[in-house]
Amino acid sequence: MTYTKGMLRDDALAGKVIVITGGGTGLGRAMGEYFLELGAKLAICGRREEVLAKAAEEMMAAKGGEVFYKTCDVRKYDEVEAFRDAVLEKYSQVDVLLNNAAGNFISPTERLSPGAFDAVIDIVLKGTKNCTLAFGKDWISKEQKDKVVLSITTTYANTGSAFVVPSAMAKAGVSAMTRSLAVEWARYGIRFNAIAPGPFPTEGAWSRLMPGDIPDMLKVENQIPLKRAGNLQELANLAAYLVSDFAPYMNGEIVTIDGGEWLLGAGELNFLQAVPDEMWDWIGEATRKGK
Ligand code: HXC
Ligand code: NAP
């Protein structure tokens, strides 16, 4: 299988400046490393300076290229504007905004304080709004075209999910923003897409969603038709394509990459997977009798 390898040709993102919120860890870092390999320059932000500094250094050592970093809390519009201005001072342009930063944890909703609810909604929904508005306004005011906003949502933005209600509500808002602005800002030459990943093990997600013995309750082989979790490179391949000039007609799309996980939970008769082969002979006979 080649899904653990890069997909696009080496210069596919040459000359592009890509901003990744939350780019110092997890999926943001993995996508960033592949973008670097493809010739892009990066600007990453997050709240923890030491995490960003270490990530930038390691990413450049591993992949070459340039990684600019600055602390920025995406919940605060003035910090987002300061980050944008610093990126522009460094690179003079921004081509892609990747809204990747998020907050999340599992909890019965009745146990959440209003502040706990806000902690997640403010990072995911308000943070994505802040970044999109700050970078988008700049592109529009300068009449710059061929820009891309890619946001990372989740499969449960559509279906909803118990125990992550603030995240589900916020990610649903990001999906709505993606589809709305794909139409509204097309006239300014800005494309909007999103990726809805299923489970891709990262320290950030697993420490908050799968603590302790909970991974033992999640049987990947039962929950995901393809019977494995996602690999970071296959997500990076999809993201690189969507932000590249190979995807200029992709606009307003939310691409699910989850091994079929959400559909397994949705299909009315999917439970019949549990039926053994030998029983299908009997079922064949039994159902023919009904004609
Ligand atoms: C209940 C909690 C809580 C928890 C925090 N709070 N954690 N309540 N259960 N586990 C409450 C606090 O008591 C506080 O309530 C309020 O939330 C704010 O908490 P702070 O710690 O002050 O917030 P903050 O420092 O802003 O941290 C935000 C955070 C944290 C979301 C709580 O986890 C974080 O920084 N996360 C960033 C990274 C992350 O979450 N990555 C995972 C993304 S994975 P009061 O009442 O005092 O205000 C993902 C994957 C989805 O999205 C799909 C997977 C398949
Ligand atoms: P992660 O490593 O915890 O990534 C979250 C990043 O967001 C961190 O770098 C964090 O840095 C940053 N961040 C959080 N709050 C911020 C704020 N207020 N301002 C700026 N940056 C902030 O988790 P991940 O798994 O890679 O998740 C990345 C994205 O993928 C998220 O959008 C998540 O919802 C999505 N996703 C993940 C999975 C999965 O299985 N891993 C599945 C579906 C969707 P600081 O803490 O330093 O600020």
In tens digits, the chain (291 residues) has pLDDT values of 788 999 999 999 999 999 999 999 999 999 999 999 999 999 999 999 999 999 999 999 999 999 999 999 999 999 999 999 999 999 999 999 999 999 999 999 999 999 999 999 999 999 999 999 999 999 999 999 999 999 999 999 999 999 999 999 999 999 999 999 999 999 999 999 999 999 999 999 999 998 888 877 777 778 899 999 999 999 999 999 999 999 999 999 999 999 999 999 899 998 898 899 999 999 899 999 766
Q: Where are the domains of the chain?
A: 2-290
Which residue is closest in CA terms to ligand 2's atom 21?
Answer: 46
Q: Is 20 within 8 Å of 98 (Cβ atoms)? A: yes
Which ligand 1 atom minimizes the distance to the CA of 115?
Answer: 48
Q: What is the DSSP letter of 262?
A: H
pLDDT at 217: 78
How many Cα atoms are found within 13 Å in the side-chain-facing hemisphere of 177? 25
Q: What is the DSSP letter of 212?
A: T
* Helices of type H across 104-198: 114-121, 127-141, 156-159, 165-184
Burial (Cβ within 10 Å: 0-12, 13-18, ≥19) of residue 39: middle
Task: Give the neighbor-by-neighbor strand order of the sheet with 190-197.
Answer: 67-71, 41-46, 17-21, 96-99, 147-152, 190-197, 254-257
CA angle in degrees (0–180, nearest 5) for 40-136-122: 95
Measure 22 CA to ligand 2 centroid, in angstroms: 6
Dihedral of CA atoms 145, 151, 157, 161 in degrees, nearest 10, equals -170
pLDDT at 219: 76
Probe ligand 2: pick from 20, 31, 47, max atoms within 8 Å of CB? 47
Which ligand 2 atom minimizes the distance to the CA of 167?
Answer: 34
pTM over 0.85: yes
Fold exhibited by the domain 2-290: Rossmann fold (3.40.50)
Measure 104 CA to ligand 1 centroid, in angstroms: 5
pLDDT at 119: 98
Q: Is 47 within 8 Å of 102 (Cβ atoms)? A: no
Q: Residues with beta carbon inside 6 Å of ligand 1?
A: 102-105, 107, 113, 115-116, 119-120, 154, 167, 199, 204-205, 208-209
